[in-house]
Structure 1
């Protein structure tokens, strides 16, 4: 049984069929390869700075909505739902450019974020607000992280109220 976010028959017409390696790698038509769950990974960066803001997934409909509206749409694996980035927070990602990789199984979005510029539901500018400390691990313990962003750009409580976090353990 296909997941509900697999490519619907009417949307298949918007994507080219994958007919040859040459067509996929050198062709001029979008022929994305979704995984067995009907998803494709997406890297989203700031169009001006190149900073990585987030990594997410899209189903076919999210990719087509992104192409059509020039606003980023994603598939949330934790919520099992499609969403337009910024629908509840106002932190809409306006798409400047959409790129596809060589074998068309990954998407790169270059965006500008409306409002405060935050892209992370935790309130930071980027979802990649921490790094692994050089030397990494505590003696006999876990690997340590350090904050690269020390100030939140927005207060998540102001944006989302009492809505639960999408993070799942």
Structure 2
């Protein structure tokens, strides 16, 4: 079972070991991977298209998702709505292959640069709503009005996901 909390788990292999966080200098300047998971055991992950630089999504990883992403070279996340480990593309075919992974200065956020495979019924995309990017709307400054930056969906979510529950939480 997945462990969303900061509890110590055995790594998947000896290849992935997270260092303990011992000092600011170690966290900011060393070559030791010492991620800081939040109180729910999660770390934020911004995912962008490796070719265009377009922001595709913001997701979260628990320890297991981060380990699996490192070991497999494909994006894994922790679904906060479903409370499960999620290998991006298992259902949709919209697999995110990691081209580069970075961690920020205080090691509490991940940045993935990915290449997108075409989904089961579509061109490359990332959003469960059917758009290429999860950031498919703009927010007007001063008014807060939303507008669609992506005018058309890349795929029909009902064809890809059928009657699976929508992960959006109200």
The TM-score normalised by the length of structure 2 is: 0.90
Unaligned runs of 5+ in 1: 137-142
Q: Identify which of 130, 153, 166 aligns with 1:123.
A: 130
How big is the alpha-carbon RMSD for the aligned residues of Structure 1 and Structure 2? 1.6
Q: Which runs of 4+ in 1 moved over 4 A?
A: none
- Does 1:164 find its partner at 2:168? no
Deviations 1:53-104 (A, max 9, x none): 0001000000000000000000011111110000100000000000000000
Unaligned runs of 5+ in 2: none
Q: 1:29, CA displacement in angstroms?
A: 1.2
Aligned to 1:91: 94
Report the count of equivalent residues. Answer: 161
Aligned to 1:5: 4
Aligned to 1:63: 66
Aligned to 2:53: 50
SS at match of 2:85: strand
Moved more, 11-20 or 59-68: 11-20
Q: 1:134, CA displacement in angstroms?
A: 4.5
Aligned to 1:80: 83
Aligned to 2:147: 146
